[in-house]
Amino acid sequence: MRFHVLTLFPRMFDSPLSGGVIERARASGLLGIQIHDIRDHSQDRRRTVDDYPFGGGPGMLMKPAPLFEAVEAVMAAIPGGAAPVVLLSPQGKRLTQRVAEEMAQQDHLVLVCGRYEGVDERVRQHLATDEISIGDYVLSGGELAAMVVIEAVARLVPGVVGSCESALSDSFTTGLLEHPQYTRPAEFRGWQVPEILLSGNHGQIARWRRRESLRRTYERRPDLLESAPLTGEDREFIESLRRL
């Protein structure tokens, strides 16, 4: 999968994308992340990319021309010449695991980072195919949001995370929060790992994990239970929690 990021601050991407699974996947060629400086597409010698809003008001807006030209240059280099253009925006669709899963199906994804008071509306209307928000708060720019999208999507690309299974059991992928996890030692400062996990009985361990996953979701994010795929046994267990 290839990410193409358009930003006014290319250097912000240097260190967050050089570590852990992302770095490994880039080195192996599974992932490509190309950072493009929007200023390279400004149309004057001062490399201007912003201007005052028509009608007045505080702050500056990103001009449409450098953004359109930057996206067009990226598209020209993509085989087939087409890919989703995602504008990072607090007004966009909220990033969830489902949205990340959909994005992970793409071969190429163009991520456009806004700055200042945002972008000229024609960028939303005629350039972006999607608008994504990473939450109901306002950042100063789309760069950190783009990095969040890259990290969330990249780990869903087959082969990026060492064991496929670990991504499959992540919180939200199953529709539930993940069950508690423990590693060695079995006793730490007097706190014991649940006995069942040491039993070697895989059937019982799987059942315990499912129940703890349901319990945790019921306690912390009951809203998820409304759309999670649940068996009859799951529902009975949740009912027993409600009766407590």
Ligand X SMILES: C[S@@+](CC[C@H](N)C(=O)[O-])C[C@H]1O[C@@H](n2cnc3c(N)ncnc32)[C@H](O)[C@@H]1O
Return the active site residues.
90, 117, 155, 170
Q: Which stretch binds ligand X (CB under 6 A): 7-15, 21-29, 102-110, 137-145?
A: 137-145
Q: Which of 51, 54, 119 is nearest to 85 (CA)?
A: 119
- Which of 55, 137, 229, 242 binds ligand X (CB under 6 A)? It is 137
- Which of 36, 115, 155, 179 binds ligand X (CB under 6 A)? It is 115
Q: How many residues does the chain have?
A: 244
- Which of 64, 84, 141, 175 binds ligand X (CB under 6 A)? It is 141
Q: Does 127 bind ligand X (CB under 6 A)?
A: no
Comparing CB distances to ligand X, the nearer of 60 and 193 is 60
Comparing CB distances to ligand X, the nearer of 120 and 212 is 120
- Which of 40, 117, 151, 234 binds ligand X (CB under 6 A)? It is 117
Which strand ranges, in their side-by-side order, compose the sheet holding 130-133? 32-37, 2-7, 108-112, 85-94, 130-133
C-beta nearest to ligand X: residue: 114
Among positive and negative, which fits the CA dihedral 44, 45, 46, 47? positive
> In whole angstroms, what is the distance from residue 96 CA to residue 55 CA?
36
> In whole angstroms, what is the distance from residue 115 CA to residue 128 CA?
15
Q: Site size for ligand X, by CB under 6 A?
A: 20
Comparing CB distances to ligand X, the nearer of 20 and 135 is 135
Q: CA 56 from chain center: how many Å? A: 35
Q: And the tokens for 74? A: 């990226």
- Which of 22, 66, 114, 150 binds ligand X (CB under 6 A)? It is 114
How far apart are CB 218 and ligand X at their closest, in Å?
Answer: 28
Q: Which of 31, 40, 43 is nearest to 4 (CA)?
A: 31
- The DSSP code sequence of 123-175 is HHHHT-SEEEESSSS--S-SHHHHHHHHHHHHTTSTTSSSSHHHHHTSTTTTS
How far apart are CB 81 and ligand X at their closest, in Å?
Answer: 25
- Phi, psi dihedral angles at 164 (to 5 degrees): -55, -40
Comparing CB distances to ligand X, the nearer of 147 and 157 is 147
- Which of 113, 128, 147, 153 binds ligand X (CB under 6 A)? It is 113
Q: Which stretch binds ligand X (CB under 6 A): 36-44, 75-83, 112-120, 188-196?
A: 112-120
Q: Site residues (CB under 6 A) for ligand X?
A: 88-91, 113-115, 117-119, 133-135, 137-142, 145
